[in-house]
DNA sequence: CAGAATCCTTTCGGATACTG
DNA sequence: CAGTATCCGAAAGGATTCTG
């Protein structure tokens, strides 16, 4: 990912609707793949997977695989991932204030 | 634009790299189409136009046409547009802090 | 359960040419 | 100067099927 300025750099991590919904969901705590899929309305398995990979690659999310019979994989925010929350909060606040209709 | 929650609503306005660069440029003050085109490195005329239209439609930017011989059009942020600045500032701050290499 | 693989549509933006 | 019009390629994401 080539970035040109800090603003663009940050945007690259939060420009996707699904990414921010995943991050927001994970601020509630560690969750399994399955839980995320159920809670994030409308997300497909493929999109969830690829976005989680992206977040993992960029150290925003940690993936923990449990070597048990039925697969169990847990996702949680890293400290870096958690540090995005003020931005999401501010975006939410702006949205509440300015949403029309 | 159908939105589902405030977070997504806000994201719709800032998810584009070009949109945030335009807004940031306009925080410096009213500017002409031509100036924006020169200052925002790499933006094409088409993209600049369409993004300005988008911003205008959503009341984030005001377009002022002067009826003179050589066309003169000025763009400026509305109060709503200006109200996005804290979010962009926070994104910039996060980028400065976490940008790698 | 947690995915991988494949196919397909939509959207964004780059390139280029033209105009009142 | 400030656009419009057209063509085109890349990338995101939806739907579906299959698997260790």
| CB B47 under 7 Å to nucleic chain D | no
Q: Which residue is nearest to nucleotide C1 (CA to C1')?
A: A71
Residue range A29-66, pLDDT digits in tens: 999 999 999 999 999 999 999 999 999 999 999 999 99
User: What predicted TM-score, i.e. pTM, was given to this entire model?
Assistant: 0.93
Q: Which of A9, A93, A95 sits opposite B95 (nearest CB)?
A: A9
Q: Pairing state of beta strands B72-77 and A31-32?
A: unpaired
Q: Which residue of B has its CA nearest to A9?
A: B95
The Cα-based distances of A78 to A48, A51, B10, B81 in angstroms read: 18, 15, 24, 32
Q: How far apart are CA A66 and CA B33, in angstroms?
A: 56
């Amino acid at each position: 990912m080539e970035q040109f300025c800090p603003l663009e750099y940050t945007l690259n991590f939060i420009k996707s609707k699904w990414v921010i919904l995943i991050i927001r969901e994970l601020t509630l705590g560690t969750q399994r793949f399955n839980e995320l899929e159920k809670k994030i309305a409308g997300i497909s398995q493929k999109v969830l997977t690829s976005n989680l990979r992206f977040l993992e690659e960029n150290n925003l999310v940690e993936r923990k695989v449990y070597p048990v019979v039925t697969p169990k994989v847990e996702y949680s925010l890293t400290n870096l991932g958690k540090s995005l929350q003020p931005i999401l909060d501010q975006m939410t606040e702006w949205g509440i204030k300015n949403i029309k209709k």
